[in-house]
Structure formats: C-alpha cells, structure tokens
Amino acid sequence: MIIQEIVQNQPFMTTSQYVVDVLRQSIDALALFVAVNDRINNVVLKAFCKDSSLADQFAVLPFDESYCQLVCANGRMATVIRDTERDPLTASLQLTQRVGRGSFMGAPLTLGDGTVFGTICAIDDKPGTFSEKDLELLQSMARLLSNVVMLEYEKYKDALTGAFNRGLLDTFYGSHNFKTSPLGVIYMDLDNFKSINRDYGDSYGDRLLIYCANVITRIYGEESVNVRMQGDHFVVILQHPVLNQLIKKTQEFQLNISKVVLPGESNLSASIGIAVSEEWTTDIHELIHRANTRMLSVKNGSKNGYAY
C-alpha cells in the first residue's frame, strides 16, 4: 500500500518520464511504459506509444491479463517473449487477441527484499524485435527506478525491526479521507518490557522486538502497515477494517507471542487496544489515541488482553 503511494509522488513520476524518454530514443518499439500493480490491477503511469489507440489497451488491465504479470512471476529476472501469438505464456491472453502478434520484453521494479511492485516494458508489432542491447538498457532503467523507490521507502523504515517509523503517519495519512476509506488501528504494548530489558539485556529485548514485528506482518498480512511508535509500542493500520476480523487476528497474534518463554519462565504477552474509524474521525492521530486509550485500560488492569 505504501509503495502505491510512493510511486505517485514527484521523484518517481519525474524519473519515470525521464526513463521513457531515454528508452524511446534507443529502442525501436511500438510502445514503452512504466507500470505498477497491486496484484489486482496493472496501471500504466508513464508511456510512449506510436499508436495512440494502443495506449488505451494498456492503461489499466486486470493484473492476470497483463503481460506484466509474467515479469512479476519471474522474480528479479527480465522476461522476453519473441512471438506473443506462439508463446504459450501469452498466446491465450485476451490482450494478445486484441493487439495481435508481436514481441514483448519487460524488466521488474523491485524492493531490496526482491518484492516486485512494477515493471518497465516494451512492445512491438513485429516478432523477435528486441536485441540483447535493448534488454540490457531496459534492465538498467529498471534498476534506476527501483533505487528511486527504495530511497524513498527506506526513509520511513525502522532500522531495528523493519517496521515503519512514525514519520510515515503524517506523510501518508495526513490528509486521509475516512469517509471513503475507513481505517482500523491496533495499538500494541509488550507487557513488562522495561523489566525484560533490565533483567535479560537490551540485545535480548531487541530480538523480541524483531520477532514481534515479523509476527505482526505474518498475522495481519502484507496489506497492513506496521509502525513502531517508540520502544516496544507498535501500531498496525488496516484499510476497510471489519471489527470481528481485527479481533480474530489480534487473538492469533497474542497466541503466537505467548509461545515465547522468557528466561524467567514467564510467557511473552501484550496489552492491545483496537479502534475503527468513523465518518467523523478527524485524523490518524485521533484514531491512534483512541486505540492507545483502550490499550492503557488493559495495561493498567490485568494486562495480556485487548479492548475495543
């Protein structure tokens, strides 16, 4: 979700236009484009098309019907289709039937961990058009665009846990429209964490924080946004929340971390507050405050529980 925001910002859009301009001067292709996807839709952000009617064919496509999904499935490797009507990967796609026979090459846009968030692609109406030199240039431009996104992305990452930092909140949620896109917030505070650090050392505490951040991502899903607020406090943000599902995932999270047995033979636990936005919610900080207040009601009571 955060990547989809970053690619709409000026650094990526400006660099994408530069990339398209460079490629069109060097590669003889019917169409060149930079696209991003969320595994549901493939959206072209910048493009050059010799045939203007072709641009509409590629502007927004179901991800599974796009040539770009072949590139994403190939990991960090580029994809080359020399004849789209004869290659089994593309012959049956509706896109091939619409635009006809030709050739295709695409290079992935990736994060440091290998996650593919987009593609740079070239299409021609003749089979076997593209050379090794064309492919090398396309891959170089893909690395450039990937680095632009990674530099922006890393600004908002917590160095220890890999969660996001608080700077992300105002940047990406400062003008959020809660009426059209409700959010759920889960505020977590590990129980007795100061004592854990004191008794077993900061290094042990750091390992627990990293473990909890990984469990949050696994339980709440890749579409969730996990923010380390401070110390052992985490906030999880989810779009279009369903309260019962948030409760179920929170129970699953608590079950998972309770399997950690501390050196003193007690189990790791957390106090958690859950809040779901209303149409009258003013901003992300107000929603986080509500979740935090509910978390504190648990922490000041029996701990190891949740409130909503």
Residue 113 has a pLDDT of 86
Q: How many residues does this entry show for the chain?
A: 308
Q: What are phi and psi of 164, to 5 degrees?
A: -80, 160
> Is residue 90 a contact partner of residue 67, using CB atoms and an 8 Å limit?
yes
Write down the pTM of the prediction: 0.82
- Distance separating alpha carbons of residues 77 and 89, to the nearest angstrom: 16
> Is residue 157 a contact partner of residue 167, using CB atoms and an 8 Å limit?
no
- Distance separating alpha carbons of residues 117 and 108, to the nearest angstrom: 8
Residue 57 has a pLDDT of 80
CATH topology of domain 2-154: Beta-Lactamase (3.30.450)
Q: For residue 20, give Cα distances in angstroms to 35, 266, 278, 287.
A: 11, 58, 42, 41
* CB burial of residue 270 (10 Å; 0-12, 13-18, 19+): buried
Residue 52 has a pLDDT of 80
Q: What residues form DSSP beta bridges with 261? A: 267
Q: How far is CA 289 from the centre of its chain?
A: 25
Going residue by residue through the chain, which has 308 residues, state the pLDDT in tens, using 9 for 90 and above. 689 889 999 999 999 999 999 999 999 999 999 999 988 999 999 999 998 877 788 899 999 999 999 999 999 999 999 999 999 999 999 999 988 999 999 999 999 889 999 999 999 999 998 999 999 999 999 999 999 999 999 999 999 999 999 999 988 998 899 999 999 999 999 999 999 999 999 999 999 999 999 999 999 998 899 999 999 999 999 999 999 999 999 999 999 999 999 998 899 999 999 999 999 999 999 999 999 999 999 999 999 999 99
Closest residue by Cα to residue 54 from 134, 124, 105, 113: 124
Residue 159 has a pLDDT of 95
Residue 125 has a pLDDT of 93
Q: How far is CA 43 from the centre of its chain?
A: 15
Q: Is the fold of 2-154 the same as that of 167-307? A: no
**What residue spans define the domains of the chain?**
2-154, 167-307
Residue 1 has a pLDDT of 67
Architecture of domain 167-307: 2-Layer Sandwich (3.30)
Question: Token digits for 31?
Answer: 């169409």
- Distance separating alpha carbons of residues 116 and 108, to the nearest angstrom: 6
Residue whose structure tokens are 């501390």? 262
Residue 209 has a pLDDT of 98
Residue whose structure tokens are 């509706």? 94
User: What are the residues whose beta carbons fall under 8 Å from the beta carbon of 194, sequence distance 6 or more?
Assistant: none
